[in-house]
Amino acid sequence: MATATKKTVQLRMSASLYSQARAVMEEIEQVHSFNDFAVNAIKEEIKRAKEARIDAAFSMMATDAKYRETTARISQDFEYSDWDALQIGEGKKL
């Protein structure tokens, strides 16, 4: 596996924010440095942003008439096989 190229950056923050971050770091034993803490926090924020974009896309489906029509049709198409699978899963049918 190739090693990712690293970029050195500087962070500017208030002394209060830095103190709060340091206090949290002391509570989290897995964090070995302020750099690790900052990198992990940025990764988590990127993850949240990606999840928010996905959630927004899914929420648009709820109001998309064509999508709702298509899923209703697919649900009807598979209604028999879904019922059959449920019966097998509950041990009522072999």
pTM: predicted TM-score of the whole model, two decimal places: 0.61
pLDDT the model gives residue 86: 81
Share of the chain above pLDDT 90, in %: 56
Cα separation values, 84 from 3, 33, 36, 87, 88, Å: 50, 56, 52, 5, 6
CB 38, CB 11: distance < 8 Å = yes
Q: What is the pLDDT of residues 36-77, one digit of tens each?
A: 999 999 999 999 999 999 999 889 888 899 999 999 999 898
Residues 55 and 47: beta-carbon distance below 8 Å: no
- Tell me the two tokens of residue 46: 């990127």
